[in-house]
A and B are shown apart, each in its own frame.
Chain A
Amino acid sequence: MTQVNTITMTETDVIKLESEYATKSPQEILTFALKQFDNIAISFSGAEDVVLIDMAAKIKKDIKIFSIDTGRLHPETYQFIDRVSKQYRIKIDVIFPNAGEVEALVKEKGLFSFYQDGHKECCGIRKVKPLRRKLATLDAWITGQRKDQNPETRASVPVIQVDTAFSDSERTLIKFNPLSSWTSAQVWQYIQKNEVPYNQLHAKGFTSIGCEPCTRGILPNQHERLGRWWWEEAADKECGFHEINLTQTNK
């Protein structure tokens, strides 16, 4: 019988832990996370965050993994999710959006509304709502998010955090981002050194992998953000407190 750890972490605990673990390796952060929480799962996007699965499988048996099937993924991604499941002998909990909501969106706006209206509406229905539903069943989760993925978000990827987006007044959800400080190059060094399987789209010039209509290959040395929602450019940035503003206030 598995002993269930019931952990209550306060925001102060998490801030302390974040400072303690900020410079530790992804494996050390994962070891801590998997030891502290039983009801914890890794979010797997079907891309290079597979390194988390490889690391976690070496730390603990029967790790929980989930993946969101938005219905618009590349065939290569579906094949990859299946391959990872077989190779690591793990069950990946594939979760889906609400069919009625997808149907309503498509009926009203067609299959490619994101090219006109931006990706947020579609992502909200196909990805974030099912994610929220899944996270409501967990005490903690682990993501492959890294600071270098998007210059706009680099300040907001601590290795351990209270997930304020999905916690509520009755429940505190903890989020671990063990790869936060790793660069894309470090992730790929790990993949090659440990012979970790990878999504075949990477061999076709895709750096960041999401839904098929919203992802494209990029040229060497282009930032991976350019491979996602490239038509949106600077939209949605107008409410941000850009670094320049915040830096000037410190002078």
Chain B
Amino acid sequence: MFIFVNKIKTMHIKLVTKIKLDGNLCRKSARVLSGLERLDLLGQINEIIAADERDPLSEGFNLANKYQVQSAPFFIVEDDDGLTHLYTAYYRFMQDIFQISVSESDAISEIMAQNPELDYI
């Protein structure tokens, strides 16, 4: 874990969440934030950017549009080589960046949420 924390110091991590019209986070954004907090990893996220439904011009929507992402939350990781990696799946982000595996059921649930077209397989 210590080796890993040293490694991510050279990364810049943005988390894009969604805020609904009622001012609350969408369900998955809330779940991911709470998961990161529980694992004491929230401090490793450099920026938390909102796509706020009350402000359609908010930066989160710009980023969603730029990266063609369909749903929140998602992560943009810029590494020290200047490369940008996009993670739309929380479980993949956790595996690649924090080397933490989530349960298969959680991974499947995430895959289905991020890929609604799988309903038609």
Contacts and interface: CB of A to CB of B under 8 A. Distances in A.
Contact of B57 (A239, A244, A249): A249
Contacts of B68: 155
Interface of A: 43, 45, 68, 119-121, 123-124, 127-129, 131-132, 143-146, 149-150, 152-153, 155-157, 164-166, 169, 208, 210, 228-229, 236, 238-241, 244-246, 248-250
B70 interface: yes
Nearest to A224: B120
Instruction: Among A68, A123, A165, find the residue whose CB has the most chain B CB atoms closer than 10 A.
Output: A165
A128 B116 contact: no
A239 B72 contact: yes
A240 B64 CA distance: 10
A150 B51 contact: no
Given A128-B111, A164-B89, A165-B115, A246 B120 contact: no
A240 B112 contact: no
B1 interface: no
B108 A246 contact: no
How extensive is the interface on chain B, given as a class?
A: 35 or more
Given A124-B108, A246-B65, A238 B121 contact: no
Interface string B39-81: 0000000000001010011000110110011111100000000
Most chain A CB inside 10 Å of its own CB: which residue of B72, B112, B115, B121: B121
B120 A149 contact: yes
A150 B116 contact: yes
Given A164-B88, A238-B18, A245-B64, 13 more contacts: A43-B121, A45-B121, A121-B109, A128-B118, A131-B121, A150-B120, A153-B116, A156-B70, A210-B119, A238-B20, A239-B71, A249-B57, A250-B65
B37 interface: no
A239 B115 contact: no
Q: Which DSSP category, helix, strand, loop or mixed, fits chain B's interface?
A: helix
Interface in B77-121: 88-89, 92, 95-96, 104-105, 108-109, 111-121
Contacts of B112: 120, 123-124, 128
Contact of B104 (A119, A129, A239, A249): A129
B32 to A, nearest CB: 10
Given A150-B116, A165-B111, A239-B72, A245 B51 contact: yes
B105 A238 contact: no
A196 B28 CA distance: 43
Nearest to B16: A241
Given A128-B108, A249-B62, A143 B26 contact: no
Among A145, A210, A240, A249, residue most surrounded by chain B Cβ atoms (within 10 Å): A249
